[in-house]
Amino acid sequence: MSEAVFSQLAMSVLLTALIGWMGFIVWDLAKKSKAGKFGTIALFTVLGAGVLGFIVKTVLVEIMQI
């Protein structure tokens, strides 16, 4: 296995785990702060926008082959 293949595989696996962990942190934050349904949705929307932006950027880079 070459270094490039390992890096790509590690990036995919670890980035997915990091996004999942951040989702758990947001859920735990909403639960501990007693944010309610609206507050939880607001937290996931606002804090999840960064994750969505990263995913969109990655997809666009792959499509454009930059």
User: Which pLDDT tens digit goes with each residue over 6-65?
Assistant: 998 998 899 889 989 999 999 999 999 998 999 999 999 988 898 889 889 989 998 998
pLDDT for residue 1: 84
CA atoms within 13 A on the CB side of 17: 6
pLDDT for residue 58: 85
pLDDT for residue 60: 92
pLDDT for residue 37: 93
Please state the domain count of the chain.
Answer: 1
Which residues constitute the domain of residue 41?
3-64
pLDDT for residue 65: 84
Amino acid of residue 28: D
Q: What is d(CA 28, CA 9) in angstroms, rounded to the nearest whole number?
A: 29
